[in-house]
Amino acid sequence: MQKDVENAKENPSTEESNVAPKDVSNTKETPSVKKSASNSNEEVVLSPLEIAKKDATEWKTQYAYLKAEFENYKKNAAKEQLRLIQFGSENLILDILKISDLFEMALKTEVTASNYENVYKGFKMTAEELSQSLEKHGLKKIVTSKKAFDPHLHEAISSESSETVPSGHIIKEYTVGYTLHDKVIRPSQVIVSAPPSEPKDNEK
């Protein structure tokens, strides 16, 4: 026991030398940790070239997205247009089929001396119903009675001198013309009044 005490007195720094390196190492690590934390809080500053590249990438991505959206819109619009072409006249066809049924029923009727007037009235009413049905879908007759000749609406197939109808006006309608939603799809074929011919010298 006495020897141990003496050894301790002879080597007083033995225990301290074993602890000191740990304390020194701890004091050296602390500044490095603070430095690392300081670096993590610093904002990254981009150069103008890097900013331009970043913006260009974003614009390119947005352009690709908008282009894809527009392509989808064109495809859907084309499909809708095709559908309208195929089925847009469906209601018109259904109305015409109703009129066709009436005509077929009338044709099956046996005409006699006692009912021919009623059969005629039935045909006339059916024709009027057809005209009304077509007008409902935008088809209208071009009026020609007492009208001046209009090359946009009428087609002159001949001319006649007239003392009662002014020159350049329609005397008679040969074929009915039609407009569809105010667009001429078939001009009226008409006979136009010409100026009265002057008597020849030998007729005076």
Residue 6: pLDDT over 90: no
pLDDT at 83: 87
For the record, the structure tokens of 139 come out as 């088809």
Residue ranges per structural domain of the chain: 140-196
On whether the CB atoms of residues 170 and 149 are closer than 8 A, the answer is: yes
Which one-letter amino acid corresponds to residue 53? K
Q: In the predicted model, what is the mean pLDDT of residues 54-68?
A: 92
Mean pLDDT of the chain, nearest integer: 81
Residue 76: pLDDT over 80: yes
Q: What is the pTM of this model?
A: 0.56
Q: Which fold has domain 140-196?
A: Nucleotide Exchange Factor Grpe; Chain A, domain 2 (2.30.22)
Q: Which helix (H) or strand (E) holds 93?
A: helix 90-107
- Of 14-23, 116-125, 183-192, the range with the lowest mean pLDDT is 14-23
Burial code (b: 16+ CB inside 10 Å, e: under 16) for 146-156 equals eeebeeebbeb
Residue 1: pLDDT over 50: no
On whether the CB atoms of residues 187 and 154 are closer than 8 A, the answer is: yes
- CA 102, distance to chain mean position in Å, is 38
Query: What would the pLDDT profile of 134-182 be if each residue is shown by its tens digit?
Result: 999 999 999 998 899 999 999 999 999 988 899 999 999 999 999 999 9
Nearest to 170 by CA among 162, 181, 178: 162
